[in-house]
Amino acid sequence: MGATISELPFARLRVNLSITTGDRFVRLALLLCSALTLTNNLFSADDASDWKPGLIGEYFAIGTELMDFPSIAAEKKPNITKVDRVINIPHADQSFNDTSLTDQFYIRWTGAIKIEKDGKYTFFTESDDGSRLFIDGKPVVENGGNHGMIEKSGEVELKAGTHDIKMEFFEDGGGAGCVLKWQPPASEKAVIPANVLFHKKGADQ
Ligand SMILES: [Ca+2]
């Protein structure tokens, strides 16, 4: 997504610089307009039409005992694919997150997280049974194994911008729950809000 963002505004700058009005103030104003356009484009790039709110949740019915994360063949299709705006499923012993799944299933959530400012971010997964979180492909929280509702955390330095996020979760039997929280720099710990989670348009089809 970087190439189109950086090319467009500079193309506009070149066009405006080539205008020879003889009036420095007019040219200055045009440059200022270009700079504003550039700024606008950079901000709107985060909300570009190819990004949609929420993470893609791929739900797999496994049907056998799960003591840890299952291996899912690359070609295996999920039983359910849906967009989840947040991951905040309280602990319960019933159908999981408005699906027909109750036991012996695995979920993979993928998409992007929008980071407002550089700094150290702490992430927390609380789950029954296991969960783990990856940012930009690197493990940040390891909360695997077959267990009750347990929270684990991890820290990562992040630059402002959009980063890949992947959350995995599995449930063997009994109760199940899964909550994904964070603590941004100088902020309170909270469920990661819907307004920073996105997926590529079409990824849910
Ligand atoms: Ca369980």
Q: Are residues 118 and 181 in the same domain?
A: yes
Domains held by the chain: number: 2
Q: What is the pLDDT of residue 32?
A: 52
Is residue 9 a part of any domain in this protein?
yes
137 C-alpha to center of ligand 1: Å?
26
Q: Are residues 83 and 16 in the same domain?
A: no
Is residue 182 a part of any domain in this protein?
yes
Q: Are residues 107 and 124 in the same domain?
A: yes
Is residue 91 a part of any domain in this protein?
yes
Q: What is the pLDDT of residue 204?
A: 72
Q: What is the pLDDT of residue 121?
A: 98
175 C-alpha to center of ligand 1: Å?
4
80 C-alpha to center of ligand 1: Å?
20
Q: Are residues 39 and 119 in the same domain?
A: no
129 C-alpha to center of ligand 1: Å?
5
d(C-alpha 92, C-alpha 205), whole Å? 29
Q: What is the pLDDT of residues 116-136, one digit of tens each?
A: 999 999 999 999 999 999 999
Cβ atoms of 125 and 135 within 8 Å: the answer is: no
> Is residue 165 over pLDDT 50?
yes
Q: Are residues 141 and 61 in the same domain?
A: yes
Mean pLDDT of 134-156: 98
Q: Are residues 26 and 96 in the same domain?
A: no
Q: Distances in Å between the alpha carbon of 117 and those of 20, 42, 43, 155, 184?
A: 40, 15, 13, 15, 9
Q: Are residues 13 and 60 in the same domain?
A: no
> Is residue 7 over pLDDT 50?
no
77 C-alpha to center of ligand 1: Å?
23
147 C-alpha to center of ligand 1: Å?
7
Q: What is the pLDDT of residue 193?
A: 98
188 C-alpha to center of ligand 1: Å?
28
143 C-alpha to center of ligand 1: Å?
13
Token pair listed for 197: 């989670």
Pairing of strands 119-128, 150-158: antiparallel
181 C-alpha to center of ligand 1: Å?
20
Q: What is the pLDDT of residue 41?
A: 39
To the nearest 10 degrees (0 to 180), the angle between helices 24-45 and 2-17 is 170
Taking only Cα atoms into account, the Rg of the chain, rounded to an integer number of angstroms, comes to 22
> Is residue 38 over pLDDT 50?
no
Q: What is the pLDDT of residue 39?
A: 40
Token pair listed for 73: 């063949």
Q: Are residues 20 and 64 in the same domain?
A: no
Q: What is the pLDDT of residue 1?
A: 39
Cβ atoms of 106 and 70 within 8 Å: the answer is: yes
Is residue 123 a part of any domain in this protein?
yes
75 C-alpha to center of ligand 1: Å?
27
Which positions ≥6 away from 120 have C-beta within 8 Å? 155, 156, 157, 158, 185
User: pLDDT tier at 76 (50, 70, 90 boundaries)?
Assistant: very high
113 C-alpha to center of ligand 1: Å?
27
69 C-alpha to center of ligand 1: Å?
13
Q: Are residues 28 and 61 in the same domain?
A: no
User: pLDDT tier at 179 (50, 70, 90 boundaries)?
Assistant: very high
Is residue 205 a part of any domain in this protein?
no
> Is residue 152 over pLDDT 50?
yes
176 C-alpha to center of ligand 1: Å?
5
CA nearest 196: which of 91, 76, 101, 112?
112
Strand residue runs (E) in the chain: 51-53, 55-61, 80-84, 88-92, 105-115, 119-128, 131-135, 138-143, 150-158, 161-171, 176-183, 190-191, 197-200
- DSSP category for residue 195: G
Which residue range forms the structural domain that includes residue 145? 52-200
Q: What is the mean pLDDT of the chain?
A: 84
200 C-alpha to center of ligand 1: Å?
31
> Is residue 36 over pLDDT 80?
no
Q: What is the pLDDT of residue 31?
A: 55
d(C-alpha 32, C-alpha 120), whole Å? 34
Task: Please report, for the domain that includes residue 168, its CATH number.
Answer: 2.60.120.1560
Q: Are residues 95 and 11 in the same domain?
A: no
85 C-alpha to center of ligand 1: Å?
23
Q: What is the pLDDT of residue 33?
A: 44
- DSSP category for residue 70: P
d(C-alpha 162, C-alpha 156), whole Å? 14
Q: Are residues 108 and 141 in the same domain?
A: yes
Q: Are residues 130 and 179 in the same domain?
A: yes
Q: What is the pLDDT of residue 202?
A: 77
Q: What is the pLDDT of residue 171?
A: 98
